[in-house]
Structure 1
Amino acid sequence: MENLADTRALIRMAHGMVRFYCASFARAPRQIVLDIDDTFDAVHGHQQLRLFNAYYDEYGFQPIVVFDGDGRLVGAVLRPARRPGGKESAGHIRRLIRQIRRHWPTTEILLRADSHYGTPEVLDLCDSLGLRYVFGLSKNARLREHVQTVEASTSERYARKGQKLRRFKTFFYAARSWTKDRRVIARVEVGPMGRDTRYIVTNLEGGRGKHLYEKLYSARGQAENHIKGWKSHLASDRTSCMSASANQMRLMLHGCAYWPHRKVCA
């Protein structure tokens, strides 16, 4: 069955997955949250698109998977086992949003993802399409300059009190590859394991930094649990066909199976 689908059929199926997702709502929601992530699927044959991943020390795929904030599966795209670049990520997001907008033209869409999705291409795309976003942001020396004082005072306070501390700082910052300044929130944590500083970037104007980081951004981790469940309960990583189109078909069939599984487990 999986070997019968050509590229056009797979595109229609991808559109159908979005249509099914939108139909799962009684009415168009005011806002949705989309969690974008990728996951490694090991392979042990000579499948098309397989690639050696040095981190996992195996050949495999690394599909991009999108769930909404309530655990509904929105889409999945098979791809080689490497982190997606900015242009690739922006292309996938653009196509997905186009399909969602056909059903919900006025729904506000918020994207959440790790730092490797917060590329200049994706940030500019979100701004041009009117999307809200909260992305992780990789550390660098210029970001560190904004939080050195907070890091030092937090470390000093921990040394005096001996209790784990977490503090936040909000500031505006522009990477050299960005087209404009953007709002950045730093989370500085000091405890028995030392100091840990992390950053997120967002175009949300309201909300305290603590709330945006702890309640909004950190909640994206639930998508990882959805992916783990999809793989462990429905074997979505069983992509052992030789052709890429057949394995994409398998991925979508596993996506279809996720819906009744989710309903049973609800």
Structure 2
Amino acid sequence: MRENAIALEKDVVRSRCSRPRSDGRTTLGSQPTLSRLEHAIDRSAIQSLARIGIDWFCAYAYGPDEHPPDLILDLDSTDDPTHGTQQLALVHGWYDQHMYHPLVWFEGRTGLLLRTRLRPGRDASATGVVDELRHILPLLRRRFPHTPIFLRADAGMATPAVEAKLEAEGVSYVLGIGTSRVFKARVAPLVARAQARYERRGQAVHLRTSFRHRAKSWPHPRRILVKIDVTAAGLNVRFMVTNRCGRAADLVAWYDDRGTSENWIRELKLDLHVAPQLSSFPRQRLPPAAVQPRLPAARLFPARGPCGDATRVGDHRDDSSPRAMAL
């Protein structure tokens, strides 16, 4: 709670949640203020706080005349264990615990947090992704109208609705996708060849390829990327669905880079203590819970640099972690 009170002193939060003080003072945070804030949250306040990350990115990540070659949306979900009776804190079968199941969006080149969304514990990974894209894409395109947008995410996000939305918006994507008997049959000869090569040479074998496939729920065929690794640890076969052109090996390597976002999520939860803010309020209403991840995360978006100027991503490119950005 004290950490949140300190965070409220930053004008990036005050500008969203309060009016300027009549006495001209610049600090706001206090325990009573924080308590009133948490219990006066409505949907419009949550929506306003949800835009802090993207607004900061659009304003300060790059100079007015600077345009990145592309924007990379790294999308993931994470577990937020709960230990009370919070509203919609439910048992998730995969994690086997009571929890919330928030969505987390990062920009892959800079490592900056763009947006979070609190969700009930039983929500599937892709729940709410299409709605989130409706908020995120217009804001990014208004600031970077000629910059291509890419998205990568794990298998839980590969649903017909998400794929259709990305294609309709002109977003290039690589999404992990679960295996199936059809997929296994398609790559069986290549898997056998990779295993034979490993047995013959005793060295790790890494093969990449792709094929076209149309699932029953798809309106048209899509490209399936294949990643086959045979090492001392055994056989590992993964599949991804994409609408991108290019060499399969290059696309798989680009997709594998999304693992960095898991480290960023770990920093949010361990270093900025975002997750405990959700789980430490027994019996609270969902709207105050929904705002909790916004407040610690807002520390990632200082409104002024040390000299009064906006701090830009370019000043920290030697270390693109969210913690380094905050510092």
Q: TM bucket by the smaller chain?
A: over 0.9
Distance 1:99 1:243, change over 3 A: farther
Deviation of 1:81 after TM superposition, in Å, equals 1.8
1:41 maps onto 2:80 in alignment: yes
Which structure has the highest strand share of the two?
1
What secondary structure sits across from 1:176 in the alignment? coil
Q: 8 Å contact 2:207–2:227 — kept in the other structure?
A: yes
Aligned to 1:64: 103
Q: Across the two proteins, how many residue pairs are aligned to each other?
A: 263
Q: 8 Å contact 1:186–1:197 — kept in the other structure?
A: yes
Comparing 26-35 and 79-88, the one that deviates more = 79-88
Equivalent residue runs for 1:1-266 within 5 Å: 1-24=37-60, 25-26=62-63, 27-69=66-108, 70-84=110-124, 86=126, 88-206=128-246, 208-214=247-253, 216-237=254-275, 238-239=277-278, 240-241=280-281, 242-260=284-302, 261-265=323-327
Distance 1:217 1:9, change over 3 A: same
Q: TM-score, normalised by structure 1?
A: 0.92
**Cα distance in 2, alignment partners of residues 224 and 218 from structure 1:** 11
Distance 1:87 1:128, change over 3 A: farther
Aligned to 2:19: none
Unaligned runs of 5+ in 1: none
Comparing 31-40 and 247-256, the one that deviates more = 247-256
What secondary structure sits across from 1:222 in the alignment? helix
Comparing 153-162 and 108-117, the one that deviates more = 153-162
Deviation of 1:57 after TM superposition, in Å, equals 2.8
Bigger radius of gyration among the two: 2
**Cα distance in 2, alignment partners of residues 67 and 264 from structure 1:** 14
Q: 8 Å contact 1:234–1:258 — kept in the other structure?
A: no
Comparing 107-116 and 55-64, the one that deviates more = 55-64
**Cα distance in 2, alignment partners of residues 247 and 262 from structure 1:** 27
**Cα distance in 1, alignment partners of residues 123 and 45 from structure 2:** 26
**Cα distance in 2, alignment partners of residues 86 and 38 from structure 1:** 9
Deviation of 1:2 after TM superposition, in Å, equals 2.1
What secondary structure sits across from 2:293 in the alignment? helix
Comparing 110-119 and 243-252, the one that deviates more = 243-252
Deviation of 1:87 after TM superposition, in Å, equals 5.8
Deviation of 1:96 after TM superposition, in Å, equals 1.9
What secondary structure sits across from 1:46 in the alignment? coil
Comparing 255-264 and 17-26, the one that deviates more = 255-264
Deviation of 1:101 after TM superposition, in Å, equals 2.5
Deviation of 1:17 after TM superposition, in Å, equals 2.8
Deviation of 1:167 after TM superposition, in Å, equals 0.6
**Cα distance in 2, alignment partners of residues 133 and 62 from structure 1:** 23
**Cα distance in 1, alignment partners of residues 324 and 88 from structure 2:** 30
**Cα distance in 2, alignment partners of residues 256 and 50 from structure 1:** 24
**Cα distance in 1, alignment partners of residues 204 and 222 from structure 2:** 29
What secondary structure sits across from 1:74 in the alignment? strand
- AA paired with 1:263? M
Q: 8 Å contact 2:299–2:326 — kept in the other structure?
A: no
Q: 8 Å contact 2:106–2:113 — kept in the other structure?
A: yes
Comparing 145-154 and 46-55, the one that deviates more = 46-55
Q: TM-score, normalised by structure 2?
A: 0.76
Q: 8 Å contact 1:43–1:50 — kept in the other structure?
A: yes
**Cα distance in 2, alignment partners of residues 85 and 231 from structure 1:** 18
